[in-house]
Structure 1
Amino acid sequence: MVFLQFVLLCFSNYLQDEDLDSDDDRSSFSSYGSDIVAKRGYGTNNGNVSLMFSHQRTESLLSVYSEAGDFGTVTVCGAVEFALKYTAAGELIITVEQCQDLAYANPRKQRTDPYIKTYLHPDKSRNSKRKTSIKKRTINPVYGGETLKYNMKMDGLKGRTLKLSVWHNDFRGRNVFLGQVNIDLKTWDWWHESLTWYNLQPKYVLYRMLMSIGYLTSFPGNAKDISGEIHVWLKEARNLRRLKPKGVDSFVKCYMLPDTSKKSRQKTGVVKKNQEPVYNHAMVYDGFRAGEAREACCELTVWDHNTLSNQFLGGVRLSLGTGQSYGKTVDWMDSVNEEITLWEKMLASPGAWVEGEIPLRSSMTPRK
């Protein structure tokens, strides 16, 4: 029996996500959100919305170790501060400053020995891996500007996703996953080089927002005078991350970019103590002349309400994702996948609601 356990343990170690590396490999090479208010909008219970659509523990050791490299079950929490920079020499430099409020990998001993690991997906090989040093017995580790470096041409980087994850180092090799941040380098703003805080996310992020949008136009007789309205109906969010023992007190802010003025901001009410909040709140943005809806971007951000400082939970940007608005290059026209699809459907179906369930981004590039 002891021999069988030894064989299974060795096999499980083989399956790990390369976190049983030698000490040599452990050395490294070394919220945003925003607030857009129309001339009229719908309240939460407005009845005049004309467009409403209608084994158990005795299983084998392999089952215990089936989550590659993840030997503990902890609730992901906290944040990590780092910066990205691409140099003229063709080098991506990730500067890691610190983490804050990490989970205890060993709750009984109140102990976490954290380090940070990066990959440039889709490459998951050792050649793609970089690591920081390990900080002992702290949930607020300070790395003090440690750098992780990749030599790669910009064209190659634009097809990659930076996966930065935080782990607890265990002397037996049973490292515990503490959270991650994924950065799509295709849409990254390379002018943004300052240190930035990012909320850590679980491995499988299921946060989503259910909404409907509609585009209405009026026809006064003169085609040049056609005016349109964009209706945004926020229904609910799903599986928001728990930040407080009793749940999340969330609300949604909206801008219709490129308008970033304070008067253009709209917000839902706060839904308290609920990770599946139902907002049922609609907003209207008018004054869109022919073709202007193609130049706009609906930016929605979800926040946890706090007295002193609200915390960013996620966001979406709905647009055509062209990178340009009215002929100018803009960093916020960076919609992808379902975000683009929903906006295209809206433009193709004037006068009708189109519904979508859009995944929330865990981070958003600050817009200039």
Structure 2
Amino acid sequence: FLFILFSMSQDEGVDSDDDDTSLSSYGSDLSSRKGYSANLSVFLPLPHKRTGSLLSVYSDAGDFGNVEVQGSVEFAVMYSPVGELIIMIEQCQDLAIADPRKQRTDPYVKTYLYPDKSRRSKRKTSIKKWTANPVYVESLRYKVKREELPDKTLNLSVWHNDSRGRNLFLGQVEISFKIWDWGHEALTWYNLQPKVHCLKCFFKMCYLISGGSKNSTGEIHVWLREAKELRRLKPQGVDSFVKCYILPDTRKKSRQKTRIVKKTQDPVYNHAMVYDGFKTGEVSEACCELTVWDHNTLANQFLGGLRLSLGTGQSYGKKVDWMDSMDEEIQIWKRMLANPNSWVEGELPLRSSMTPRK
């Protein structure tokens, strides 16, 4: 559980017709490496380097063996002139071996358009046999009105087809269309993520300002206390740290980080961060982005995060993809603004995925 202090101066193991999948990918912290954008705010996985997460298959209907959720999936999202949402599934790479005895994986891709989790929302590709690197080049389509899409989320999961009906979960990606750049239609790689229980954050916030004039300035203090039940990505545990941005400032020098706490899924950070110089009204245009990462020499792996803001989709009159705070995140931010110089407590789940910033 992530404690934050601010101040201002399933898919089941069986792939049934009414199964329920969730969660997804934010990418790896590899912007300086070949294959990644030079922009630190874009988190797109590198197709030539995969990261694995050693987690058992989470299932409400039973656990049909331990599968290493690893690899990536390449797909594109677009909206056609005829009123169809099109998911272009290109390929997967470095999927887990579902049947170690036979060294076999027979993968297929499945999608849902949440919140509809019924059979009519399910789409599937063909099954590719005996390969951990399937190539599909198939499109999955939904007849849906454009104005309805901001309330929907794409859940895309990869499965091993088992002849006995015990299809095995190999990983998933989830994309919210609340603020989505429909001009981005290029094929993109996403790291597959495991199904995990919802991690929650507990925190306190305070909007502290000095003076009552229009030109008064204040500070945002962020106190990162601890996290609990982080995803276990390595046998020895998690080497985690937290990054903080107060958006729209994405400069590297404005980024602050905690120390790395090694070999534990329950790290204690006790780290304070201070951002100053905020004039009255500027906090309404800002967003506090907190992301938790597993530290690796080659690739820092995203574990979860929060975006705390008013969630308007705009900052200083411009449309931005990072102002996508959800209901509980928005309510906490509103309570903080409505109660200056008073502590506001909250309890929020860590997001398993976050829309990449531009």
Distance 1:199 1:362, change over 3 A: farther
**What amino acid does structure 1 have at the position aligned with 2:117?**
K
Q: Which runs of 4+ in 1 moved over 4 A?
A: 32-35
Q: Separation in 1 of the partners of 2:67 and 2:348?
A: 24
Q: Separation in 1 of the partners of 2:114 and 2:63?
A: 23
Structure 2 equivalent of residue 127 of structure 1: 120
Deviations 1:4-29 (A, max 9, x none): xxxxxxxxxxx962299xxxxxxxxx
Q: 1:250 aligns with which of 240, 248, 254?
A: 240
Give the 5 Å matches for 1:223-242: 223-242=213-232
Q: 1:150 aligns with which of 135, 142, 148?
A: 142
> Is contact 1:250-1:304 (8 Å) kept?
yes
**What amino acid does structure 2 have at the position aligned with 1:311?**
Q
Deviations 1:320-354 (A, max 9, x none): 10111112221111100221122122212222333
Cα shift at 1:284: 1.0
Structure 2 equivalent of residue 17 of structure 1: 16
> Is contact 1:198-1:363 (8 Å) kept?
no
Structure 2 equivalent of residue 116 of structure 1: 109
Structure 1 equivalent of residue 168 of structure 2: 176
Cα shift at 1:273: 1.4
Distance 1:100 1:273, change over 3 A: farther
- Once the two structures are aligned, what percentage of the paired residues are identical? 66
Superposed CA RMSD in Å reads: 2.5
Cα shift at 1:134: 1.6
**2:73 aligned counterpart, secondary structure:** strand
Q: Separation in 1 of the partners of 2:250 and 2:325?
A: 17
> Is contact 1:251-1:271 (8 Å) kept?
yes
Residue 329 (structure 1) aligned with residue 319 (structure 2) = yes
Residue 212 (structure 1) aligned with residue 211 (structure 2) = no
Cα shift at 1:257: 0.6
Q: 2:288 aligns with which of 292, 298, 312?
A: 298
Q: Which entry has the higher C-alpha Rg, 1 or 2?
A: 1
Structure 2 equivalent of residue 285 of structure 1: 275
- Residue correspondences, number: 310
Distance 1:120 1:248, change over 3 A: same
Cα shift at 1:136: 2.2
**1:280 aligned counterpart, secondary structure:** strand
**What amino acid does structure 2 have at the position aligned with 1:97?**
E
**What amino acid does structure 2 have at the position aligned with 1:197?**
W
Cα shift at 1:286: 0.8
Structure 1 equivalent of residue 78 of structure 2: 85
Q: Separation in 2 of the partners of 1:176 and 1:330?
A: 38
